Copies of this chain bind each other. A is one copy, B any other.
Amino acid sequence: MNDLSDLRKRNLARLIDPKSFAVIGATDDPLRIGGRPIDYSVRHGFSGRIYPVNPKRETIQGLKAYPSISDVPEAVDAAIVALPAPLVAETVEACAAKGVGACIVFSSGFSELGAEGDAMQARLTEISRRTGIRVLGPNCLGAFNAATGWIGTFSSAPSVDPAVPGPIAIASQSGAYGGHIYNLARKRGLKVGRWVTTGNESDIELSECISYLLDDPEVKVVMSYAEGIRDGAGLKAAFEKARDMQKPIVMVKVGRSEVGAAAAASHTAALAGTDAVIDGMMRQYGVYRADDANEMLEVAYGCQHGHFPDGNKLGFITISGGLGVQMADSAAALGLEVPEFSKAGQEKMLELFPFAAARNPVDVTGQAFNDKDAIAKCLKIMMEEGDYDVVISFFTAVASLPEVAKDIVETLKPLKDSRPDKHLFFSILASEENRRFYESNGYPMFDDPVPAITAANGLMYFGRAFAAARGAPPALPAGAETVPAVATAEHEAKRILASAGIPVVREYLAATADEAALRAGELGGRVVLKIASPDIAHKTEIGGVLVGLEGDAAVREGFETLMARAAEKRPDAKLDGVIVCEMVSGGVETVIGVQRDPVLGPAVMFGLGGVLVEVLKDVSFRLAPFSVEEAHRMIREIKGFKILEGVRGAPPADIDALAEALAKLSVFAAANEETLDSIDINPFIVLPEGKGAVAVDALIVPATGESA
């Protein structure tokens, strides 16, 4: 098995970086599917061997053609299969027999068409798994590597803009989307050196491609398009690898909306994985999720130099007060800091431009037009005297004068060399030449300052993610119980969670009125009584919960009331008695829980309690298990986070206790991955700082069981 696994790995490399390739179904017409890869590769100077396969021709595009793959004089690294779907499987089998490394299957007519196609696609999977030959696709647009001139695609993209080597790699499930972002990227001036599309993923999945691309030292950023995740563990591993290598992944993952998810489900044959869980996973591993192609491009563009700041602070310097305000607004909308310029910096700036507004945004006013020598100087002050991670400058046409540009670059060079993590972005509507001059000196260029802020936000996102303390998940307590085979009653769920280290409300099961009164006395103060029955899930609906009871008599009477109600409303239900439980007052009501994602495994959810949060869907997710540090980040992601810090005079909540509970819940969920479907702790009350937190109600649903 290990040999096969090694072979599969080697064959992936042969696919993505072949020294030789065949095109089965090759054509003379360079615009047809079987013609394009040959034409493209020749025109891009592919240095390896190309073997057209076509039984009806002697030559194809000037190259000797072969009647079949078995006639080709070597076991090529990659074979492009441009044949009708029914012929694909036997061809891949023949390629495997020949020792071909991998097949790229352009052909459509597989899983995207439903059951019939499924069977044909399953054959490809089976051949690959059995023989070690790799399969890209079917229904994909192939791959290219501009550095070697291997252009194994029939996408029109490289005909619009020829591929040039560069720091950007694209890995896309959709060929058309991959081609689209390639063309947009080229139009934006980004150099995309590598490109892979995975289509139906009968064998090679997106994450394996990402992981492979990350290993290329030339690749600085991976842009990825995903619509459904098939290999959750693989994706997690690829994300972790990117973070460890400090290489940004910028991903568009579609299917966020209901209509979108429905369209994605009909379009792909993938199991998908829940969008909100994937979203949380991206934050967890420091992958930037872009909403669309343009956002993806701006972020990738700003991150391609490979230097990452570790802060959140933006400085703005502008020749227009209005653009300064615009930049401040746009930064605030992204939650970025725009801190005041240092006193020393303000003084120096005002020396240079007496009428400047020097706080930040620094508005040097139209004066800068009159003193062009001062532009480089004011930028130097801004970069040196401000503790900014990224400075964005708006200087309209004045900064695109060649002498000003030269002055700026020379003046800032020592700083640029010594502190590559301090970034300066320019918003200039510049000429192509001017743009290249700034870019080649390490300064990203934007037409408008708002996309520059988008890019800066991405850059700082990665900086934080790469620098963030990771920590280990807490240990599972020694006596932790496991998820039972059948659904639990509320009090059992809490007992199990308590054994895993989750704080739960103090409570007792009481079988008699006497016992209830005794327990209430032990708890002291006011108590809550609830019917305890594995058969009654929705206790409140039958009046099965009494709150605020105090004193022996009230508790005894409460016990009898609940018994009577249960007997009347649910005569069939098995009754364990009542739960006597302390009344928790104060604190912030939250909801924490676990959902088992079919692809990504158990994910922990966090949100505030209350109906409004439900309407606004203000929750965050993380894959289990995770550390307390990660839990803290997760908690801070929700829009309503301020509530936990204390508003309207309320004390701050015990966020540490909440974070610890989330991390412990994640460890419990991971330990019970196979047997757990979901956990719902609602409410989980976070008490004021120093006072902890408690689960008040809980439900555990086993993987095969049903809710009680």
Q: A residues bordering B, Cβ < 8 Å?
A: 108, 113, 156, 159-160, 172-177, 179-180, 183-184, 187, 225, 227, 252, 254-260, 263-264, 266-268, 291-294, 319-326, 328-333, 338, 355, 357, 359, 361, 363, 365-366, 394, 396-397, 429, 447-448, 450-451, 608, 610-616, 639-640, 642-643, 647-648, 650
Contact = CB atoms under 8 A, between A and B. Distances in A.
Contacts of A264: 321, 325
B616 A326 contact: no
Given A227-B321, A260-B326, 5 more contacts: A176-B319, A176-B322, A256-B329, A291-B329, A615-B640
Which of A172, A183, A396, A608 gathers the greatest number of chain B CB atoms within 10 Å? Answer: A396
A323 B175 CA distance: 10
B647 A294 contact: no
A263 B616 contact: no
Contact of A254 (B263, B329, B611): B329
Contacts of A160: 397, 429
Given A267-B321, A294-B450, A396-B179, A257 B616 contact: no
B293 A332 contact: no
A704 B650 CA distance: 32
A611 B257 contact: no
A174 B321 contact: yes
B363 A320 contact: no
Nearest to A186: B429
A429 B156 CA distance: 12
A160 B429 CA distance: 9
Given A174-B322, A322-B177, A450 B329 contact: no
Give how many copies assemble into the complex.
2
Nearest to A225: B322
Nearest to A108: B366
21 contacts: A108-B355, A159-B397, A175-B320, A176-B322, A176-B366, A177-B320, A177-B326, A184-B447, A184-B448, A187-B429, A227-B321, A254-B322, A254-B325, A260-B328, A260-B329, A260-B332, A263-B328, A267-B322, A610-B612, A612-B613, A615-B639
Contacts of A183: 429
Given A160-B429, A612-B640, A338 B259 contact: yes
A49 B76 CA distance: 77
A599 to B, nearest CB: 17
B322 A357 contact: no
A637 to B, nearest CB: 14
Contacts of A648: 611, 614
Contact of A448 (B175, B254, B292, B614): B292
A322 B257 CA distance: 14
Contacts of A616: 616, 639-640
A266 B650 CA distance: 34
Given A108-B365, A611-B647, A397 B255 contact: no
A267 B357 contact: yes
A365 B141 CA distance: 13
A182 to B, nearest CB: 10
B325 A227 contact: yes
A593 B326 CA distance: 30
Contacts of A332: 256-260
